[in-house]
Each structure stands twice: as structure tokens, then as C-alpha cells.
Amino acid sequence: MPPSSPPPKARSFSWRSKAFRNLVYQLIAVALVMALGAYLMHNTLLNMRLRGIQSGFDFIAQPAGFSIGESVVPFDSAESYGKAFLVGLSNTLRVAILGILFATLLGTLVGIGRLSHNFLLRTLCGAYVEVFRNVPLLLQLFIWYFVMTELLPPIETALQPLTGVFFSKNGLQYPIPLWSAGHWLTLAGLVAGGIGAWAWARAARSHLHATGVARPVFWPGLGILVVGGLLGWLVGGAPGGLDIPEKTELNVVGGGAVTPEFLTMLIGLTVYTASYIAEIVRGGIQAVPFGQHEAAAALGLSRRMEVRLVQMPQALRVIIPPLTSQYLNLTKNSSLAVAVGYPDLVSISNTSLNQTGRAIECIALVMACYLSLSLLTAAFMNAYNKRSLIKER
């Protein structure tokens, strides 16, 4: 007969129950904290009212009265403070997301390079980490901003590394596609190609587990993605219109552009955070038992295949938790954009605070935005961490 399950524990609401007493103590602590918060809020609002200081979030619907030099979506000074905060949030998200992507890629390469058998590569990667990790981020931002605004040539003699691409003190100008209905099919083809690449990666992993023979993943997956996008582009009528920047006597017109302030933030955050990520990746790989390296060598795996198939999958469970902290730090460090004039969330909040005098409200909005971004990032990374854990029998 199968063993019977233990009987469920009976809940006791007696004061003799330790669990019940702990619950009561926690409820009392929560009530005291809420009462203290309510008292402080009431006292603050009362003092503000006595001094004639307005309060409330009604200013969000009022016209902002200022323009924003760089924004993902168009913004006019006649629009509301609420939309101005959304524009600032979008600017923060743009630099934070791109910074996370580039910092992860650069940090991973540098971290692996620190373990290279090549003396020159190992030394250069180590020097990179020691230099950029030990210089304050704000100072690095000032240095990059000086490079962008002083050392680059003026717009009249802008650098042109590629046709239609201009790089100068005014920032970076580049061609962008002229949007048409056919581009939707191109995007659909890219999505289908991405799904196909994911399916190929799963099939290759299953084949490896079943036979021990590794199939290539990166190049076939990239080929499937490119073919899917190309087919969608052809079905959509092969739209090929480009808005190419043109150089005039005074400036460059047309195309897409990013400002020196945005480039300063992106490069500064990427280079600084990548130095920490490199150490996290190096420590994660070195945490894998040396016997795994010997086993990979016994199987005849190359160094690249050993890192990709043996070491990195096992190192992820060590890498992901501190990597999450670096992602959170990068997002919060983007608030230093106010030092170089990039209109991020904090910069827009400061302008709104100076015009409306609603200090508590503006600071509360900024805190809520950063708290939400941090919680979302942590939730995503925790889910990925749970998925990447090695299933032990």
C-alpha cells in the first residue's frame, strides 16, 4: 500500500501558537508604519498649506511651457507636464535598454578575454577592467562629453565613415528607411525568422543531448532570420526608400540623428557597466569545476565550443544574480544624464519642479518610475534565472 500523507496541520488562533503571535506582531508593525506615514503626510501638507505652498498632482494636465531638445515622440511646449514626464521616461528607457544590451555584449567578451591564453589579449582586457571600473562614472561622462563636443570636428568638416553617415560635434546623422505599408510585412518576416531560429536552436540542442554531436546554431539561426526578413520584404513590395542625410553649408538635414548628449550617456554607461559585467562573467566561468574543462578537452571540444556549450551554461547560475544588480545600477545611473544636458526623466522632473514648485509630487513621480523599472527588471531576470538553473536529478 502507498504510504499515507501526513495529516494537514491544524491552524490555531490561540495566543499560545507561535505562528499566530508572529502574525499579530506583523500586523501591529504594519499598522504602526502606516500610522507614522499618515502622520508625516498630514503634517507635511498642513505646513505647506500654512506657508501658501500648493500641493497635488493637478499640474500634470497643465501645459508644460518648455520644449525638449531630444525625444522619441514629438513634443510641443503647449502639451502637458504628463506627456513631458512620459517623454523623459522614454529617453531614460532608450539609453538604459541600449546600454544594457551593449554592456552585456562588451562585458561578456572582455570577461572571456580575461581568461584567454593570449598574453596580449588577457592584459588588455585586464587593463580595461581596472581603468574603467576605478574611475567614477560622473567623471567618465564628463570626459566623453568633452570628446564629443570639443575633439570631434565641426559640422562643416564632419567625419563620414560611410556614405550618408556624418559624425561631428552635432552628433551622429544616419540614413533611415522611409516607412511604408510593406515594412509591416518585413517585420512579420523577421518575427517568423526569429521563431524559426529559436526552433532550430531547440532542435540542435535536442540533437546534441541525443547523439552528442553538436550542430551549428549561430550562423544557421542568423540565416533563417535574414531569409525570413528578406521574404517578408519581397512580399511587401520590396520597399527601398531611404531618407539620407544631406550636408548643406550650415548643417546636415534629413535622416535620423542622435545628439552628443545621448552618445555620451550611451558610451559612458556601456563602458563603465561592462567593466563590472566582465568581472562577473570571469568569476562565473572560474566557478565552474575544473573537471568540466578536462571533460571538454577529453571530448576534443575547441576552446570556443567549451565556453559556449560547457562553461557558460553552468556559469549562468552564478552570473545572473549579480548581473541583475548591474542592470539595475545602469538604469539608475542614467539619472546622471542631467550633468551633460540629456533630457531624461530626472532632467524633465527638475524643470517641472522649478516651474510648478511641486517638489514632493515631482520627486514622487520619479521615485515611482525608477521603482517600477527596477521591479520589472528584477522580475524578468528572476524568471530567466529560474529557467536557466541546471535541473539536478
Of 27-41, 248-262, 330-344, the poorest mean pLDDT is in: 248-262
pTM, whole model, 2 decimals? 0.81
**For every residue of the chain, which 3-state class applies, written as one string?**
CCCCCCCCCCCCCCCCCHHHHHHHHHHHHHHHHHHHHHHHHHHHHHHHHHCCCCCCCHHHHCECCCCCCCCCCCCCCCCEHHHHHHHHHHHHHHHHHHHHHHHHHHHHHHHHHCCCCCHHHHHHHHHHHHHHHCCCHHHHHHHHHHHHHHHCCCHHHCECCCCCCEEECCEEEECEECCCCHHHHHHHHHHHHHHHHHHHHHHHHHHHHHHCCCCCCHHHHHHHHHHHHHHHHHHCCCCCCEECCEECCCCEECCEEECHHHHHHHHHHHHHHHHHHHHHHHHHHHCCCHHHHHHHHHCCCCHHHHHHHHHHHHHHHHHHHHHHHHHHHHHHHHHHHHHCCCCCHHHHHHHHHHHHCCHHHHHHHHHHHHHHHHHHHHHHHHHHHHHHCCCCC
Q: Which residues of 204-238 are buried (b: 16+ CB within 10 A; e: fewer)?
A: beeeeeeeeeeeebeeebeebbeebbebbbeebee
Q: What is the pLDDT of residues 274-300, one digit of tens each?
A: 999 999 999 988 888 888 877 888 878
Residue 176: beta bridge partners?
A: 243
Least confident of 63-72, 196-205, 296-305: 296-305
pLDDT > 70? residue 2: no
Of all residues in the chain, the percent with pLDDT exceeding 90 is 35
**Backbone angle region of 159, left / alpha / beta, with phi > 0 → left and psi within -120 to 50 → alpha:** beta
Query: In the beta sheet, which residues pair with residue 80?
Result: 63
Question: Grid coordinates representing 188?
Answer: 512579420
Average pLDDT, the chain: 86
Of 353, 365, 363, residue with least CA distance to 66: 353
Q: Check residue 1 and give its pLDDT.
A: 46
Decide if 277 contacts 108 (C-beta within 8 A).
yes
Q: Which CATH class is domain 81-153+259-388?
A: mainly alpha
Cell of 63: 501645459
122-180 residue pLDDT tens: 999 999 999 999 999 999 999 999 999 888 888 888 888 888 888 888 888 888 887 77
**Cβ-Cβ contacts under 8 Å for 233 (sequence gap 6 or more):** 182, 185, 186, 189, 239
Task: Give the model confidence (pLDDT) of 334-387 as tens digits.
Answer: 999 999 989 999 999 999 888 888 888 889 899 999 999 999 999 999 988 888
